[in-house]
Amino acid sequence: MSWKTLDDLDLAGKVVLTRVDINVPVQDGRVSDDTRITRIVPTVRDILAKGGKPVLVAHFDRPKGKVVPEMTLRVTLPALEAALGQPVTFAREDFKPAVAAMMPGEVMLLENIRFFPGEEQNDPAFAQDLADLADVYCNDAFSAAHRAHASTEGVAHLLPSCAGRLMEAELRALDAALGQPARPVVAIVGGAKVSTKLELLSHLTRKVDMLVIGGGMANTFLAAQGHDVGRSLCEHDLADTARAILAEASAAGCEIILPSDVIAATEFAAGAEHATVAADAVPGDRMILDAGPDTIARIITAFEGAKTLIWNGPLGAFEITPFDHATLTTARAAGRLTQDGRLVSVAGGGDTVAALNQAQVTDQFTYISTAGGAFLEWMEGKTLPGVAALEQGN
User: How far is 256 from 14, CA to CA, in rounded Å?
Assistant: 52
Q: Are 208 and 186 in contact (CB under 8 A)?
A: yes
Q: Which residue out of 19, 36, 197, 298 is catalytically annotated?
A: 36
User: How far is 214 from 325, CA to CA, in rounded Å?
Assistant: 13
User: 357 CB contacts (<8 Å, ≥6 apart)?
Assistant: none
Residue closest to 211 by CA, chosen among 240, 190, 234: 190
Q: Which residue out of 50, 193, 307, 332 is catalytically annotated?
A: 193
Instruction: Please indicate whether residue 305 is annotated as part of the active site.
Output: no
Instruction: Please indicate whether residue 284 is annotated as part of the active site.
Output: no
- Phi and psi for 269 in degrees, rounded to 5? -155, 150
DSSP label of 5 = B
Cross-sheet strand order for the sheet of 287-291: 274-278, 261-265, 287-291
Instruction: Please indicate whether residue 373 is annotated as part of the active site.
Output: yes
Residue closest to 187 by CA, chosen among 303, 310, 297: 310
Instruction: Please indicate whether residue 350 is annotated as part of the active site.
Output: yes
Residue closest to 314 by CA, chosen among 198, 193, 142: 193
Q: Which residue out of 65, 372, 373, 393 is catalytically annotated?
A: 373
CA angle 184, 222, 329 (to 5 degrees): 55
Query: In terms of C-beta distances under 8 Å and separation of at least 24 residues, what long-range contacts does 202-207 make, across chains too?
Result: 202/245, 202/248, 203/379, 203/380, 203/381, 204/254, 204/310, 204/379, 205/245, 205/248, 205/249, 205/252, 205/254, 205/256, 206/248, 206/252, 206/254, 207/178, 207/381
**How many CB atoms sit inside 10 A of residue 334's CB?**
27
- Active site amino acids: 36, 193, 350, 373
